[in-house]
Structure 1
Amino acid sequence: MSDLDELAHVVLQRRRELARPIVVGISGYGGSGKSTLARTLVSALPDAVRLRGDDFLDPARVHRRSPDWDGVERERLVEDVLRPFRDGVPGEFRRYDWNLGRLSDPEPVPRADVLVVDLVGLFHPVTLPLLDLTVWCDLDLWTATQRGILRDRAEGNDHDRVWSEVWEPNERDFEERFAPRDVADVLFPRD
């Protein structure tokens, strides 16, 4: 059984145990493979949807140094999506539209058995109580940063300076303060 198959099994088992819609939080350093894992996991699960963490970033604050990834809009994520989803009640939320430079029009909170959210700085006291299963993309910071830089360059974005002066230091500070790897239920990949 592959690591992905094992993770899908763990997710389905947690869903059965809780007998309600569940939220799976995937976090890790920038460039660690969170989005790829989230997309792959959703495709391996019945009745699962993904919420892209980048939709909950403040474009100005995420480019500034902070000890707790201040640019992650956790309160908006919790109040607009995670609470309504877990409670099974209708709700609306707005994604940040990076092309338009503003929040998009409201859309309904998705309905499914499993909501997968992938985001840096996700394993924080504000969000952890609403995550039913936490998965850490277990890649060291240096390798993740290099992958992120290469990915951005391939997409035509020169973020090298932001990676070295903001995002990598933010990751170190967040790790020291909140120990996200240690609070994860699952490390992925297992080895």
Structure 2
Amino acid sequence: MIYYLRQFPKFDPSGNAFGISRTVRDQGGWRACFRRIADRTSARLSPTCVEQDLANVIALIERAKERATPVLVGIDGRSGTGKSTFAVALATATRALLIEGDAFYAGGAALRRDTAQQRADACIDRPKLRLTLRELKAGRATSYRAFDWDAFDGSLSNPAVLVQPREVIIVEGVYGCHPDLMDILDIKVLLRIPDALREQRLVTREGSIGPWERQWHEAEDWYFSHLAVDATFDLILN
């Protein structure tokens, strides 16, 4: 069971030593954050359900640590399933470094005329993301320039984001468990909620769903029906 609330504190890669939003840390950690969300939401969802989902992933992480560290965790799912919120809570609980997949967006700002498969292939700069994760997996600091969502003109932000390896590294976002990344991910998690609720959340978040958004939703449809199928994940959270 997943919470999704856009006003949840966002990850700040240049923040404190844990790589976790200072706001989340100062407000009492992930349990306190989710309880405040539960108090505000009208969905009547129990924070204990979120805690159980987190506990399940943390158990996988602890087992993976027995084999080697760093442990790389991929969190994938359709837009609107609550990946970012869940990943921040997990990163706070495990003192992990959190990498946002949206930082590696490479699909451009214009409407595209290619196929859903081609859009799914182009959406994320996977070679750059893979290189970043490989360096961290090897215990080396690295940097990357993120897509500038404020400019939204295809440019990359300045300065580059510098990240230090930690015992647990989380990458979250659509395509976060792409087959091109499978060999370097230790744990692969899929988040899923009913389509009607997910679409309602997207409308609430974006205000409206236009042609630009729909082209990427079509790409997601192709990706999750052809590449990121259930059998590729270690854990599916409904």
Which structure ranks higher in relative contact order (CA pairs < 8 Å, sequence separation ≥ 6)? Answer: 1
For 2:218, the equivalent position in structure 1 comes to 169
How far the C-alpha of 1:5 sits from its partner, in A, is 1.7
For 1:186, the equivalent position in structure 2 comes to 235
Instruction: Find 1:16's aligned residue among 51, 61, 66.
Output: 66
Could you give the per-residue CA deviations for residues 96-148 of structure 1, whole angstroms, max 9, x where no partner exists? 22123421222323221111111112222211111110000022444323322
Instruction: Find 1:137's aligned residue among 191, 205, 227.
Output: 191
Take 2:173 and 2:228, find their aligned partners in 1: how far apart are those partners? Answer: 15
The AA in structure 2 aligned to 1:167 is W
How far the C-alpha of 1:62 sits from its partner, in A, is 8.6
**Is 1:124–2:124 an aligned residue pair?**
no
How far the C-alpha of 1:56 sits from its partner, in A, is 0.7
Take 2:215 and 2:99, find their aligned partners in 1: how far apart are those partners? Answer: 24
Instruction: Tell me whether 7-16 or 54-63 shows the greater mean CA deviation.
Output: 54-63
Take 1:28 and 1:14, find their aligned partners in 2: how far apart are those partners? Answer: 22
**Is 1:73–2:128 an aligned residue pair?**
no
Percent of counterpart pairs with the same letter?
25
CA, structure 1 residues 61+161, in 2 after alignment: closer, same or farther (shift >3 Å)? closer
Instruction: Tell me whether 115-124 or 100-109 shows the greater mean CA deviation.
Output: 100-109
Q: What are the ranges of 5 or more consecutive residues in structure 2 without an aligned counterpart?
A: 1-50
Contact 1:23 1:116 in 2 (8 A): yes
Bigger-Rg structure (1/2): 2
Could you give the per-residue CA deviations for residues 136-167 of structure 1, whole angstroms, max 9, x where no partner exists? 002244432332222112xxxx443334x313
CA, structure 1 residues 23+63, in 2 after alignment: closer, same or farther (shift >3 Å)? farther
Instruction: Find 1:50's aligned residue among 88, 98, 111.
Output: 98
Q: What are the ranges of 5 or more consecutive residues in structure 1 without an aligned counterpart?
A: none
CA, structure 1 residues 180+140, in 2 after alignment: closer, same or farther (shift >3 Å)? farther
Instruction: Find 1:31's aligned residue among 51, 71, 80.
Output: 80
**Is 1:103–2:140 an aligned residue pair?**
no
Q: 3-state DSSP class of the match of 2:67?
A: helix
**Is 1:5–2:55 an aligned residue pair?**
yes
The AA in structure 1 aligned to 2:104 is F
RMSD after superposition: 2.2
Instruction: Find 2:136's aligned residue among 45, 60, 85.
Output: 85
For 2:37, the equivalent position in structure 1 comes to none
For 1:151, the equivalent position in structure 2 comes to 205
